[in-house]
Structure formats: C-alpha cells, structure tokens
Amino acid sequence: MALVLAPGIAHADRGGGASQGGGTSETSGGREGAGLVSKVVYRGSTSGSRGSDGRGALQPVGDWTPPACWYEPRSAEQFRDYVESVYEETVNTPGQHSYAKQSVGMFREDYKDGTYKNYNLDKKDEGSFWVAVRDEDRRMEPEAQTCDKMPFWVENGDPVPVENAVTPEVLAELAYNRVRLPAAEVTLRPEAATKVNLPTWAWLDKATFKETSVTASIAVGGLNIQATTTARPVSLRLEPGTPDAETYPASGECTIDADGSIGEPYTRGQAGRTPPCGLKYLRSSGDGVFTMRATITWEISWTGTGGAGGDLPDGTFGTDQAVTVQEIQSVNR
C-alpha cells in the first residue's frame, strides 16, 4: 500500500457494456483500494472485452500504443480525502508493517504540514493537484511505470509540467484504446463448402461496417475537456490459412466500395467472372478445414475541445472463419 501511495498512482477503470453507437461507460472517480479511479468518462462503442457478439479492440498498425499511464487533476478536497483515508486505513490495519506506516505518514506530512499546507485548501479555487493514473489492464508493462512523479499542484491556466498530462489529444488516444469493433464475419459463396480451383466470392455488408466512435471526457476542478475518436473502415484483408491458395486481388487487400460495402455479393450467372474480392483454394482441406482470417483495417481520426484534431495510427481487427474445401467430383462415362 505504501508503494502504491508514494507515487500517487491511480488506476483507470476499463469500463464496458455499452453497444455500438450509444451507451455510456463511466468511471466513478472514487477510491478503490489504495488507488483513485480515473475520472475520465467514455461514451460510445465501448463494449468490454470480446464476448459472444465477437466485438473486439483495435490493434494499432506499427509500434505505437495508447498511453499506459497519464496525469489527471484532483481538487484539493478530493486529494485530501484520498490521502487521509489511505493514512487511516494503513495505520489502523492490524499487523501492518512499520515501514508501511512510516511511508504513508511521511507522504501525508508533506501535503498536510510540509511542502503544502493543509492540502492547499485555502486556495482550492485557484488550482488542482495532479496525480498519476495507470491503465490497470497494462499495470505490468514498463510503460505503465513511467508516470512516477509525486502528486503536485498546478495553478488554473498554467501549463502542466509533465508528459502525458491529460489533454484533448491524450483523451483521443485513450478513447482509441476503448473503441470496440464488429467481427469481420465475411459472407462466402459457395457457402457450405468451396471447391478446389474454383473462385470463392467474399463480401461484407455495408450496414455492418460503418464509422464507429468513442468520446472521452474529463471535468475536474478547472479542467473540462473532451475528444472523440472515430474509426472508419477502409479495407479487408483475406488470409486463406494455407499457402496453397490465391486471393482476389492478388494482394489479398479488398478496398471499400463507394457505397461502404466491401466486395460484391455473388449472384447467379457470375460463375465465369473473377470476383473483385475472394480467394481460390488449390487443394482440398481433407477431413478438416482451413482457417481463413479476415482483417479489417480502420482509419482513425479525432476531434477535441478547442478545435483540436488530427489523425492517429490505423488500427486493425480480425476474426477467423473455418472454410471447408472439397475436391470436384466428376463421373467419366
């Protein structure tokens, strides 16, 4: 507990449960254990971990990742209540080690009677304490440990002298991490089983793949900002699951059509055509199946308070589908 308290690390609730295009996933901003819950609120397509509906998170293209930790403000009263409650809990817990009591006592002393006097309550309307917040799902990553500055006071309107202080852009990056996308369940024809050396048509319904967004906001003390991150589908990549296959187009990347659909539905009479999006298996799957992977690439942009905005790295989300490939049976007379 003393180690958690000393750097002022809080944790960020992942939220969850809202469906695409609506709903709210809201953190409480209260205390949980020895930490503070993040006061960032998320609205939009923020359903939680991948579940029965197949929805899932963006995987950034490249080596960029959203922040694993950042800094948020707390009012003087909120910070006082946090420190005092952790102090009381630590010193009054039976069997608590002496070094934990000593550490929490020293931390409390600095903000009550040391560097700060009575938690700066006499100028509570003039600024806020800023504390480090960590994404709890990533707490074991080295990046989550980089926000190690002790809680500090910032006057309203002054720049916050740390990296990853919450801004509209940081909120946009946090929203990126909470966008949840529909599964790329590709329609194939033939449907039940495809045949060796015959083209298989593939497409996605435009009604399923449309812009998806999450808005992140925070309103604490003198800070009231927000940002909306929007994911727009731009292409579908097909990976047949075996090297003995070809894709249409040859790159395996099917671009989105003007009407928002991907690929073209197969209709009777098109057997002699090459599908604009699809694949061709060159051998049978035997008694098993090939695992085809369908991955959507999403283009990411954001807008925020004060007219801020821009682009974030593209993201992908893929799903697997079992494909049965049969030999063509013929009878010679």
**Other C-beta atoms lying within 10 Å of the C-beta of residue 183:** 18
Task: Please report the pLDDT score of residue 77 as a whole number.
Answer: 95
pLDDT digits (tens, 9 = 90+) for 38-49: 899 999 987 544
CB 120 within 8 A of CB 151: no
Residues near 263 by beta carbon (within 8 Å), at least 6 away in sequence: 186, 201, 202, 203, 204, 236, 254, 257, 275, 276, 277, 278
DSSP-derived pairing of the beta strands 309-323 and 200-204: unpaired
pLDDT digits (tens, 9 = 90+) for 4-40: 444 445 555 544 333 333 444 444 334 444 456 789 9
Reported pTM? 0.84
Half-sphere exposure of 264 (CA within 13 A, CB side): 12
The confidence band for 328, taking pLDDT boundaries of 50, 70 and 90, is confident
